[in-house]
Amino acid sequence: MDWNKLKNAYQGKRVFLTGHTGFKGTWLTLILKELGAEVKGYALPPLEFNALYHQTRAENYCDSVIADIRNREKIHREIQNFKPDYLFHMAAQALVLEGYKNPVETYQTNVMGTVNVLDALRDIHKPCKAIMITTDKVYENLEREAPYKEGEALGGYDPYSNSKACCELAISAYRSSFFNAKNLREHGISLSSARSGNVIGGGDWSAFRIVPDMAKAFAKDEALLLRNPDSVRPWQHVLDPLNGYLMLGAKMNEDCLAYNLAYNFGPEQEDRLTVEELVKEGIKTWGSGEYVVSRDPNKPHEAGLLRLDISKAKKELNWKPRYSSKEAIKVTMDWYLAAHKNESPREITAAQIKSFFRIDE
């Protein structure tokens, strides 16, 4: 789907975006601004002082509500008042290691946050396309070579992954019980979920994620500590899944019933990089950098091998990744290097969005 088709779907439309202050949420806010949508964001304040949200002054491009997704009355009221045409639900406790530290809070935010959003949609009584963002980690991971398809068993070893699998179950229950296709005229809600892989891109400053760790270490001329050098992850540049979410919403707009399902968004099958290979690619772009491997036998469990089957999104949405994993890490490290050289994060981000979507000046 090209940029003009996305514009037809989103220009002048009301888009409710939870998690707009986060890494992916900020990128999506900036794309939606380019598309001419009216965006209302709902999230907690960014955690880092240098968060992409602040760096790009994204608050200028949306109506921002800073509030907790666990506050049922508040999220309900904001969704009711805004009456969105589209809703993207991204707000979450999004880190595996944080999930081990604070499992109860992780479940409360991820599961009850999702239920609060779904429940608010019951009362808007107008057509709305809701895209709920979960993750590749929702599958029962058998550490096998074969990639996972959307219909496969849900699971999730750790609290973060498992809380997201619980979100999928809640989405499915709300779809059957309250947003059933046979009553579409009454409720107006089209509901899908999007499962994407390990997302990388400029402006992610989260702790315990390999690419931000790499950018921070190289900027300080320090060696990067590699915890899981051999792990294979579905690396993607952030713009690829966001393009997928937007294309899914646009398709739901064309046909309110045909796309109310789960979709995987990830790299091509043959495109696989280990953590160590990814870091070596990062060093190439940065021009220098060192790493040391630190295998801690007592570290919490993290998936070693996880691959997604993306054939459904390719066939039904005509979506495919535009960047390979190597291109994704190059574009990402270009961003961090430019920011390190004091170029404007707002301008770097805008230029990368224009280049990805091939937007004419």
- Position 68 contacts ligand NAD (CB under 6 A): yes
φ/ψ (deg, to 5) at 233: -125, 155
Kindly indicate which of the ranges 18-26, 119-127, 143-151, 279-287 contains the residues binding ligand NAD, using the contact rule CB under 6 A: 18-26
Q: Are strands 232-233 and 273-274 parallel, antiparallel or unpaired?
A: antiparallel
- The C-alpha atoms of residue 45 and residue 255 are separated, in whole angstroms, by 35
Which residue number, 160 or 187, has a Cβ lying nearer to ligand NAD?
Answer: 160
Cβ-defined contacts of 186-190 (< 8 Å, 24+): 186/125, 187/122, 187/125, 188/124, 188/125, 188/126, 188/127, 188/128, 189/121, 189/122, 189/124, 189/127, 189/128, 189/130, 190/127, 190/128, 190/129, 190/130, 190/252, 190/256, 190/257, 190/259, 190/260
Q: Which stretch binds ligand NAD (CB under 6 A): 6-14, 68-76, 185-193, 224-232?
A: 68-76
> How many residues lie near ligand NAD (CB under 6 A)?
23
Structure-token match 């570290």, residue found? 299
Residue 211's alpha-carbon distances to 14, 100, 226, 279, 350, in angstroms, are 33, 21, 11, 8, 20
Which residue number is nearest to ligand NAD in terms of Cβ? Answer: 22
For residue 221, the minimal CB distance to ligand NAD (Å) is: 26
Q: Is 106 in the site for ligand NAD (CB under 6 A)?
A: no
Decide: is 321 part of the binding site for ligand NAD (CB under 6 A): no
Q: For ligand NAD, which residue of 25, 156, 202, 203 counts as binding (CB under 6 A)? A: 25
Residues 181-200 that bind ligand NAD (CB under 6 A): 196, 198-199
Q: Does 22 sit near ligand NAD (CB under 6 A)?
A: yes
**Rounded (5°) CA angle 164-167-172:** 135
DSSP state letters, 324-346: -HHHHHHHHHHHHHHHHTT--HH
Query: Which region among 16-24, 251-259, 266-274, 290-298 touches ligand NAD (by CB under 6 A)?
Result: 16-24
Select 35 or 94, whichever has its Cβ closest to ligand NAD: 94
User: Using CB under 6 A, which of 29, 93, 161, 260 touches ligand NAD?
Assistant: 93
Judged by CB under 6 A, does residue 237 bind ligand NAD? no
Whether residue 14 contacts residue 84, with contact meaning beta carbons closer than 8 Å, is answered with yes
Q: Does 21 bind ligand NAD (CB under 6 A)?
A: yes
Q: What are the structure tokens assigned to 216, written together? A: 């921070």
| Closest distance of CB 251 from ligand NAD, Å | 20
- To the nearest whole angstrom, how small is the minimum distance from the Cβ of residue 26 to ligand NAD? 8
Return residues touching ligand NAD (CB under 6 A): 19, 21-25, 43-44, 68-70, 90-94, 109, 133, 135, 196, 198-199, 206
